[in-house]
Chain A
Amino acid sequence: MAQSQDNTQEPVAGRAPLIVGGYDFRSLTEAVAVPVERKTPIGWWFFFLPSLAMLGLFGVSIGWLFWEGTGIWGLNNPVNWGFAIVNFVFWVGIGHAGTLISAILFLFRQKWRTSINRAAEAMTIFAVMCALVFPGIHVGRVWVAYWMFPLPNQMDMWPNFRSPLIWDVFAVSIYGTVSLMFWYVGLIPDLATIRDRAKTRIKQIAYGIFALGWRGSHRNWLHYERAYLMLAGLATPLVLSVHSVVSMDFATAQLPGWHTTIFPPYFVAGAIFSGFAMVMTLMLICRVLFEMEDIITMRHLENMAKIMLLTGCMVGYAYGIEMFIAWYSGNPYEQFAFANRALGPYAWAYWIMVSCNVLTPQLFWFKKMRNHIGWLFISSILINIGMWFERFVIVTSSLHRDFLPANWDYYQATFWDFASLIGSFGLFFTMFCLFARFLPLVATAEVKTVLPEADPHQGEELVRVVPAGAGTEPAPQAAPAGGGGS
Chain B
Amino acid sequence: MAHGPRIVHLDQLVIRPGSGWARLPLIAGAVGFVFTIVSIVLARSSPESTKQFFHSWLVAVVFFLCIGLGCLFFVLIHHATKAGWGVVVRRLAENLACTVPVLAVLFIPVVALGMYDLFHWTHADAVAHDRLLQVKEPWLNETGFWIRTVIYFVVWSGLALYFRNASRRQDDSGDEALSRRMARFSPVAVAVFAVTLTFAGFDWLMSLEPHWYSTMFGVYFFAGTVVSAFAALTVLTLAFERSGHFRGVVTGEHFHDLGKLLFAFTVFWAYIAFSQFFLIWYANIPEETNWFLSRLHGTDHNPANWRAATMLLAIGHFAVPFFFLMPRTIKRNRTLLLIGALWMLAMHLWDVFWLVMPNLHREMTFSLLDLTSLLGVGGVFLATAGWLLSRGSLVPSRDPRLVESLAFENI
A residues neighboring B (CB under 8 Å): 10, 12-14, 107, 237, 240, 244, 248, 251-254, 259-265, 309, 313, 317-318, 321-322, 325, 328-331, 365, 457, 461-470, 474, 477-480, 483, 486
Contact = CB atoms under 8 A, between A and B. Distances in A.
Contacts of B407: 457, 462-463, 479-480
B403 A480 contact: yes
Nearest to B285: A254
Interface string B367-411: 000000000000000000000000001000110111110111000
A265 B214 contact: no
Interface bracket on B: 35 or more
A461 B5 contact: yes
A77 B407 CA distance: 65
B108 interface: no
A330 B131 contact: yes
A465 B8 contact: yes
B38 interface: no
Given A253-B283, A262-B215, A468-B10, A13 B135 contact: no
B39 to A, nearest CB: 33
B283 A262 contact: no
B275 interface: yes
Interface string B181-202: 0000001000100110010001
Given A244-B275, A467-B11, 17 more contacts: A12-B176, A12-B401, A13-B176, A265-B216, A313-B191, A318-B215, A322-B215, A325-B213, A325-B214, A328-B213, A330-B131, A330-B135, A462-B407, A463-B407, A465-B403, A483-B404, A486-B82
B294 interface: no
B317 to A, nearest CB: 17
B11 A468 contact: yes
B365 interface: no
Contact of B132 (A330, A464, A466, A483): A330
Contacts of A474: 7
Nearest to B82: A486
A478 B408 CA distance: 13
A331 B132 CA distance: 8
A194 B229 CA distance: 49
A313 B193 CA distance: 13
B145 interface: no
Contacts of A483: 84, 404, 408
B287 interface: yes
9 contacts: A240-B271, A252-B283, A261-B217, A262-B219, A325-B213, A331-B287, A461-B4, A463-B8, A486-B82
B173 interface: no
A465 B10 contact: yes
9 cross-chain pairs, A with B, having the tightest CB-CB distances, nearest first: A13-B400, A262-B215, A261-B216, A468-B11, A330-B135, A462-B407, A479-B407, A330-B132, A463-B406
Interface of B: 4-11, 81-82, 84, 131-132, 135-136, 139, 176, 179-180, 187, 191, 194-195, 198, 202, 211, 213-219, 260, 267, 271-272, 275-276, 279-280, 282-283, 285, 287, 393, 397-398, 400-404, 406-408
Contacts of B84: 483
Contacts of B213: 325, 328-329
A10 B82 CA distance: 9
Q: Which among B187, B219, B272, B406 has the greatest number of chain A C-beta atoms within 10 A?
A: B219
Given A313-B191, A321-B198, A328-B139, A261 B5 contact: no
Contacts of A321: 198, 215, 218
Nearest to B131: A330
Contacts of B267: 237
Given A322-B215, A483-B84, A466 B400 contact: no
Contact of B10 (A14, A259, A331, A466): A466
A231 B91 CA distance: 35
Contacts of B11: 466-470
B139 A264 contact: no
Contacts of A318: 215
B304 to A, nearest CB: 26
A486 B187 CA distance: 14
Contacts of B136: 328, 330
Contacts of A10: 82
A455 to B, nearest CB: 10
A45 to B, nearest CB: 42
A251 B274 CA distance: 13
Nearest to A332: B135
B81 A486 contact: yes
Q: Which among B176, B276, B283 has the greatest number of chain A C-beta atoms within 10 A?
A: B283
B275 A261 contact: yes
Contact of B272 (A265, A313, A461): A265
A44 to B, nearest CB: 37
Nearest to A263: B279
Nearest to A265: B219
B211 to A, nearest CB: 8
A13 B280 CA distance: 49
A264 B270 CA distance: 13
Contact of A463 (B5, B202, B279, B285): B5
Given A463-B403, A465-B406, A479 B5 contact: yes
Given A331-B287, A462-B407, A261 B214 contact: yes
Nearest to B140: A328
Contact of B279 (A12, A261, A478): A261
A464 B215 contact: no
Contacts of B398: 467
A19 to B, nearest CB: 18
Contacts of A265: 216, 219, 271-272, 275
A12 B400 contact: yes
A485 to B, nearest CB: 8
Contacts of B191: 313
A466 B404 contact: no
B404 A13 contact: yes
Contacts of B187: 309, 365
A461 B131 CA distance: 70
B278 to A, nearest CB: 8
Nearest to B220: A261
Contacts of A12: 176, 179-180, 400-401
A312 to B, nearest CB: 11
Given A12-B400, A248-B279, A261 B8 contact: no
Contacts of A462: 5-6, 406-407
Nearest to A471: B11
Nearest to A467: B10
